[in-house]
């Protein structure tokens, strides 16, 4: 029933499969895909899509790289042609590599200058020191400065092929028609190297960068389940009632009752084999420890007692979020791709809604208890000089 179509190709390889000297190469290759093919230069790629009112973009995450566009159904063939062209016929021109190298170094600089971006890279390092998951997706100035065309070609040849690429479309599209069109473009694609991911070890580290800022930007977190864990819906409900909205415990206790910050929220970063449950807050240096104490205390409190009304409200938010996201063809494509990469098949909405409905206060309480039992937190902070609670102190407050 949609009036537009979204189509994308997801590559089952992101920053997590890079070697140490390849830090940032998946992201740079994402940029370079738009810089010219055997049939199109960079301007033609952009112009042809925008001539028909389409939108094209890409992103690199720790576990995948995605290229996608949205356009009107009558231009579907053009979209497929451009998308498959940039991923199979990219020429990676030397002049564009040098130009884009400078762009990415500027992007890294911008991230370093943005404390609420920098703190998340520092937090990843605090969680997973000496592991790919602990490195910045953008790479470093040194790594990006040293990439050569052969490095980019090597990474593309390893992972951009059959078995590691997933074509997803949503909206005004018919499945059989899509398959036949894609087969004509990608049917002869060579096999790619299977993605291998080393299981991370939780570091429970601490990364602090002192800056002359008005606020301290702080992230704390604990290890949790993988994205495929059966009890992930209890984790989602926990995150929602703990720090997912204006009615959440963190918002009410930290902001509304005590005025310790403007922004605070919890979130879960879930991967194929592991995950992190975290809290971000921006607060003054003088109030940082009080904020941390309250945040830890509220999570410990949930492990002991959850009111049924809190769980009902959290489940209502999760159900609404899922159903509202289905009104966007782009969001449908994103969800479909992630489900297939993780589970090997699409997940039925009715099943997902039923799993949300099955969550009760016992499941949420048990999930909170799992998080705090025997786990030492990781912490990152960017802000003015201050003596923050150390990780052992935080661990003690989580179990108080």
Instruction: Report the catalytic residues.
Output: 30
Distances (CA, A) of 306 to 64, 267, 278, 300, 312: 36, 19, 19, 11, 11
Give the 3-state secondary structure percentages of the chain, helix then strand then coil, rounded to 5.
Answer: 50, 20, 30
Q: Alpha helix locations (H) across 52-114? A: 76-88, 94-113
Long-range contacts of 259-267, Cβ-Cβ distance < 8 Å, separation of 24 or more:
260/287, 260/290, 260/291, 260/294, 261/287, 261/291, 264/291, 264/295, 266/239, 266/242, 267/239, 267/243
Using DSSP bridges, classify how beta strands 206-210 and 65-71 pair: parallel, antiparallel or unpaired: unpaired
CA atoms within 13 A on the CB side of 382: 16
| Region label for 171, one of left (φ > 0), alpha (ψ between -120 and 50) or beta (otherwise) | left
Dig out the tokens for 13 from the structure: 């390889």
Using CB atoms within 10 Å of the CB of residue 362, give its burial: 0 to 12 exposed, 13 to 18 middle, 19+ buried: exposed
Identify the DSSP state of 70: E
- Cβ burial of 13 (10 Å; 0-12, 13-18, 19+) is buried
């Amino acid at each position: 029933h949609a009036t537009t179509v979204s189509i994308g190709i997801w590559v089952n390889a992101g920053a997590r499969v890079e070697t140490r000297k390849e830090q940032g190469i998946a992201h740079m290759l994402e940029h370079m895909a738009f810089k010219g093919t055997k049939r199109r230069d960079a301007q033609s790629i952009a112009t042809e899509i925008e001539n028909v009112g389409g939108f094209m973009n890409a992103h690199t995450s720790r576990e995948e790289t995605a290229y996608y566009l949205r356009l009107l159904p009558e231009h579907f063939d053009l979209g497929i042609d451009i998308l498959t062209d940039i991923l199979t016929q990219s020429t990676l021109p030397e002049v564009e590599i040098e130009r884009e190298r400078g762009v990415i170094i500027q992007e890294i600089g911008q991230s370093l200058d943005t404390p609420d971006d920098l703190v998340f890279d520092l937090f990843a390092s605090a969680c997973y020191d000496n592991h790919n998951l602990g490195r910045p997706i953008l790479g470093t100035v040194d790594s990006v400065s040293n990439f050569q065309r052969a490095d980019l070609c090597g990474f593309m040849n390893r992972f951009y092929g059959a078995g590691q690429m997933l074509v997803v479309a949503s909206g005004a599209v018919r499945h059989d028609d899509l398959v036949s069109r894609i087969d004509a473009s990608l049917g002869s694609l060579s096999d790619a190297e299977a993605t291998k991911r080393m299981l991370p070890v939780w570091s429970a580290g601490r990364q602090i960068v002192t800056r002359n800022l008005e606020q301290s930007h702080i992230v704390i977190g604990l290890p949790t389940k993988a994205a495929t864990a059966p009890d992930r819906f209890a984790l989602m409900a926990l995150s929602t009632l703990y720090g997912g909205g204006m009615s959440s415990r963190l918002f009410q206790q930290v902001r509304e009752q005590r005025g310790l910050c403007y922004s605070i929220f919890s979130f879960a970063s879930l991967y194929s084999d592991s995950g992190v449950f975290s809290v971000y807050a921006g607060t003054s240096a003088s109030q940082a420890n009080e904020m941390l104490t309250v945040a830890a205390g509220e999570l410990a409190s949930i492990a002991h007692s959850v009111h049924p009304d809190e769980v009902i409200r959290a489940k209502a938010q999760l159900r609404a979020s899922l159903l509202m996201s289905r009104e966007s063809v782009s969001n449908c494509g994103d969800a479909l791709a992630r489900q297939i990469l993780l589970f090997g098949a699409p997940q039925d909405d009715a099943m997902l809604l039923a799993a949300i409905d099955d969550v009760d206060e016992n499941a949420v309480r048990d999930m909170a208890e799992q998080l705090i039992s025997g786990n030492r937190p990781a912490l990152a902070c960017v802000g003015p000089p201050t003596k923050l609670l150390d990780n052992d102190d935080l661990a003690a407050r989580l179990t108080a």
